[in-house]
Chain A
Amino acid sequence: MTILNASLTRRRPSLAADVADLDVTPVMNMFIILIPFLVSMAAFTHLAAHHFGLPRDEGAGEASTASELPLTVAVGTAGVVIVKGDVVLAELPAGEDGQDLDLLAAVLTDQPAGRLVLAVDDPVGVDVVVTCLDRCRAAGFDDVGLAAGTGVTLGAGAKP
C-alpha cells in the first residue's frame, strides 16, 4: 500500500521537457524560395516528336508503276482514301465533325504492316496530319512517308 501510494503521488515528468523543440524556420524559408522557383521552371507538358528523314533533291528518279506503289493513304478535306497499288481499299468520307480517323485505324489494322505513304492535300490541317500519323503507327506501320497529295476525290472505290 505504501508502494502504491508512492507511485501515485510521484510527479510525472513534464511533456514539454521531453519534446525537443526543433526550429524548422530556416528549412521553411528555403522551401518557400525553392518551390516557387522550381514550379516556374517545371514543364507540365511533355514534348514529343515525329521524326522524318528527307532525301536530298537529286532530280526525278524512275517512276514506279501503280502495282509497285506501297499502301497509300490520301487525306483530303473531302475524306480519306486508302489505296494499295491500283486498288482502292476504302473510302472514308469526312463528316460534319471532320475526318473519321478511327475508321482509318480499323481499316489499316487489317492490312499487313510495311511501308505506307501519307499523301496529304494542301488545305488539310496539321493536327489532322499528326492524328493520321498516330493512327498509321498504331496500326503497325512504323515506316510512314509523308507526301503532298493531288486532291482527294471520292466515289471511285469501295466503302468499308
Chain B
Amino acid sequence: MARRRRKNRRKDGTTAPLRLTSMMDILTVLLLFLLKSFVVEGEVITPVPGVDLPESSSDAAPQASVVVAIFDNTVMLDGQMVTRLENGSSDDGLLIAPLADRLNQTRAKELEIAQLRGEDVDYSPKIAIQGDRDISFEVLERVMYTCNQSGFGDIALAVIGAS
C-alpha cells in the first residue's frame, strides 16, 4: 500500500488523483438500465434449464402458474422430474398417468390454499408448458391432454418473445 502511494506521488511531492468520473457515468447508466429492465420485464415464470424454447412473434405475457417442462422425452413439474416418455404411444392412450397424479395433487393443494384465502370461487387452475423446440407435437399433445384431464384447461405454451 505504501509502495502504491509512493508510485502515485509525483516528483514534486503532489499526488495524481485518479479520475473516476467517466467510470461513474458508465456504472450509473448500467445501473439505471438494469433497474429499468427489472421493472418492465416482471418475469412470472422462469425458463427451466435445459429447455430450448421456440422463438415466436407473440407478445402475450405468461401468467404465474404451475410449470410443466418437456425436453428429451423427460417431463418435469415445477422443477422436479415426473416421468420419461417412451417412444410411441402408451397403454393409457394420450394420458400420462404419473403426470396426471402429480397434477391432481398440485390442483388439490392450490384449491386448498384458495379456500383458505377465500378465493376458491374465482379459482381457475393455470398451467404453463415449456416445451423444447425439438420435441414432437405428439409429446406436446399428450401433455396438453393430461393437463386438461387434470383440470388445467387454461394452458400457456411458453415461447421466447420477439423483443
Pairwise interchain contact B62-A49, C-beta atoms closer than 8 A: yes
Q: What residues of chain B lie closer than 8 Å to A43, measured between beta carbons?
A: 37, 41, 43
**Chain A, interface SS category:** mixed
Pairwise interchain contact A48-B24, C-beta atoms closer than 8 A: no
Interface centre among A48, A120, A148 (most CB of B within 10 A): A48
Pairwise interchain contact A129-B137, C-beta atoms closer than 8 A: yes
**Chain B, interface SS category:** mixed
Q: What residues of chain A lie closer than 8 Å to B58, measured between beta carbons?
A: 48-50, 133-134, 137
User: Which A residue's beta carbon lies closest to that of B62?
Assistant: A49
Pairwise interchain contact B135-A55, C-beta atoms closer than 8 A: no
Q: What residues of chain A lie closer than 8 Å to B159, measured between beta carbons?
A: 47-50, 130
B window 1-60: CB within 8 A of A: 17, 20, 23-24, 27-28, 30-31, 34-35, 37-38, 41, 43, 45, 47, 53-60
Instruction: Given A57-B149, A130-B159, verify A122-B136 contact (CB < 8 Å).
Output: yes
Pairwise interchain contact A126-B20, C-beta atoms closer than 8 A: no
Q: Among B17, B35, B53, B149, which residue has its beta carbon within 8 angstroms of that of A21?
A: B17
Q: What distance in Å separates the Cβ of A17 from its nearest Cβ neighbour in chain B?
A: 13
Pairwise interchain contact B60-A46, C-beta atoms closer than 8 A: no
A123 near B: Cβ within 8 Å?
yes
How many A residues, CB 8 Å from partner? Answer: 42
Instruction: Given A48-B61, A49-B128, A54-B144, verify A28-B136 contact (CB < 8 Å).
Output: no
Q: Among A38, A39, A52, A55, which residue has its beta carbon within 8 angstroms of that of B157?
A: A52
Instruction: Given A46-B163, A51-B154, verify A28-B31 contact (CB < 8 Å).
Output: no
Pairwise interchain contact B156-A54, C-beta atoms closer than 8 A: no
Q: What residues of chain A lie closer than 8 Å to B156, measured between beta carbons?
A: 49-52
The distance in angstroms between the C-alpha atoms of A38 and B159, with both chains bound, is: 24
Q: What residues of chain B lie closer than 8 Å to A129, measured between beta carbons?
A: 137, 140
The distance in angstroms between the C-alpha atoms of A35 and B162, with both chains bound, is: 26
A10 near B: Cβ within 8 Å?
no
The distance in angstroms between the C-alpha atoms of A35 and B58, with both chains bound, is: 31
Pairwise interchain contact B56-A133, C-beta atoms closer than 8 A: yes
12 A-B residue pairings within 8 Å (CB atoms): A28-B27, A34-B31, A39-B34, A43-B43, A48-B56, A49-B60, A52-B154, A53-B155, A120-B141, A121-B137, A123-B138, A126-B140
Q: Which B residues are closer than 8 A to A by beta carbons?
A: 17, 20, 23-24, 27-28, 30-31, 34-35, 37-38, 41, 43, 45, 47, 53-63, 128, 131-138, 140-141, 144, 147-149, 153-163
